[in-house]
Amino acid sequence: MKLILLGAPGSGKGTQAAYISEKYDLPHISTGEIFRENIKEMTPLGVKVKAVMDTGNLCPDDLTVELVKERLSKPDCKNGYLLDGFPRNIYQASALDEIDAPDKVINLDIDLSKIEHRITGRRSCAKCNGSYHVDFIGNVNTCPNCGSELTIRKDDTVEVVKERLAVYEVQTAPLIDYYKAQGKLVNVDGDKSIKEVFDEIVKVLG
Ligand code: AMP
């Protein structure tokens, strides 16, 4: 199964991807995560994308497509993939259609007016990649999953969130119609609880 998780920043793609990846045994490929790892390790790629990521804008298309193409060529993608955060625009989507087209696209549909709250309350674990919201875990500093320190992503600030949302609306939202036209889009209400959203995804995946 070749799957894409589509949705605005903060729609819960990362959280749902972790569950889907485990249940369906699909490699979870998050381009944002790959970029963050490279920044942490200060690789040449990380150095190249850091400034643009800090502003909330998209990393260069060619570089991102190349990265995904290489990742999809790995043996663990032989039986499918779960893409989270890619494609982010029509250019990337048509490039993916050439490389290895998806079977289904799940769009996590959320109330965009709640995004700022969803993102600025987010706490992330750099060790296990867990992502939580202070509404649910309170103001704790340690990861409920692995006990490591929780941090706030550098691009999870109010100003950067505004830019990320603008980028989403202009560049990424048109993908909804793109995949609808291909008959691959499934809408899931992302404003429900984590469990309810996951149950709905399982239902549509069959
Ligand atoms: P995410 O973790 O998906 O929220 O992505 C965080 C940031 O990584 C984005 O705001 C972009 O700067 C960059 N990024 C992630 N995925 C892509 C992509 N497919 N194309 C371009 N930039 C991306």
Query: Please, what is the Cα angle at 13 between 7 and 15, to 5 degrees?
Result: 160
Give the C-alpha separation, 10 to 165, whole Å: 10
**Strand partners of residue 29:** 83
Give the C-alpha separation, 122 to 119, whole Å: 5
Q: Which atom of ligand 1 is nearest to the CA of 35?
A: 8
Pocket test for ligand 1, best of 58, 131, 157, 175 (most atoms within 8 A of CB): 58
CA–centroid distance, 59 to ligand 1, in Å, is 7
Ligand 1 residue neighbourhood (C-beta within 6 Å): 9, 31-32, 35, 52-53, 56-59, 64, 85-86, 88, 92, 155, 164
Region 114-140: mean pLDDT is 91
How sure is the predictor about 15, in pLDDT bands with cuts at 50, 70 and 90?
very high
How sure is the predictor about 206, in pLDDT bands with cuts at 50, 70 and 90?
confident
Mark whether 13 is an active-site residue. Answer: yes
Q: Which of 13, 36, 118, 123 is catalytic?
A: 13
Does the pTM surpass 0.75? The reply is yes
Region 141-156: mean pLDDT is 93
CA–centroid distance, 148 to ligand 1, in Å, is 24
Give the C-alpha separation, 146 to 130, whole Å: 9
> Percent of the chain, pLDDT > 90?
94
Give the C-alpha separation, 104 to 180, whole Å: 10
Cα dihedral 145/206/118/191 (nearest 10): -130
Cα dihedral 123/61/75/84 (nearest 10): 30
- Is residue 121 predicted with pLDDT exceeding 90? yes
Instruction: Report which secondary-structure segment, H or E, holds 160.
Output: helix 158-167
Q: Return mean pLDDT, the chain.
A: 96
What is the pLDDT, as a whole number, of residue 139?
87
131-133: strand order across its sheet: 131-133, 122-125, 150-151
Q: Other CB atoms closer than 10 Å to residue 138's CB: what's the count?
A: 7
